[in-house]
Structure 1
Amino acid sequence: MHIAILTLTFSLPGCGSLKEKRQRMVGLHARFGNTPSVAVCESGERDRHDASEWTLVVVGLSKREVESLCSQIEDKIERTVDARVMNVEREFV
């Protein structure tokens, strides 16, 4: 079994409240949290309006499978989340 920890840092320009931030970022958990091989949580910048950090734990039978899933997640986030991705870190455990 292979495990990757994918941490993404976001900038939310023009976001004026925590309520707006949650509305803009809520899709992240809904999109990926239902996948059996992915766990999702907001891991940082919880009290800031203009930034957010999310961590996803991705599990698969092969490193290739995990890398592919991480790439798919990154691509989908770039296309669908109403925020600017500032940093992406991948760590294999």
Structure 2
Amino acid sequence: MNIGFLVLDFVAPFCNSLKDKRMIVRSLRDKLTKRFNVAFAEVGEQDKYQRILIALVTIANTPERVHEVLDQAQAFAEANAKGAELLSAEREML
């Protein structure tokens, strides 16, 4: 069993309230969990409305499959972040 997690740090300078931020986070959560069957959590920067820090976790039989899912999920999140810019992505395998 292989476990991988990915932490994505976005900046959304156009967000003027936590409500604006929640719209982006909720949209990403719904789309990523449905399309890639990953666990999703907002793991930091929850009180800052222009920063979004999320984590994705997946489990698979092979490390290659874990990397494939996380690669696809990262690309999808970048493309569907509604204008938020990806600052960093950190990945770890367990």
The normalised TM-score by structure 1 is 0.92
Identity rate of aligned residues, in percent? 30
Question: What is the RMSD of the two structures over their aligned residues, measured on CA atoms?
Answer: 1.4
Partner of 1:92: 93
Q: Deviations over 1:43-85 (max 9, x none)?
A: 0000101101001111111000000001100111111112111
The aligned counterpart of 2:63 is: 63
Contact map agreement 1:37 1:60 (CA 8 A) in 2 = no
- Which aligned pairs between 1:11-90 and structure 2 lie closer than 5 A? 11-34=11-34, 37-82=37-82, 83-90=84-91
Where in structure 1 are there 5+ consecutive unaligned residues? none
Instruction: Give the C-alpha shift of residue 89 in structure 1.
Output: 0.3
**Matched length:** 93
C-alpha spacing 1:22/1:64, structure 2 compared with 1 (3 Å): same
Partner of 1:42, secondary structure, is: strand
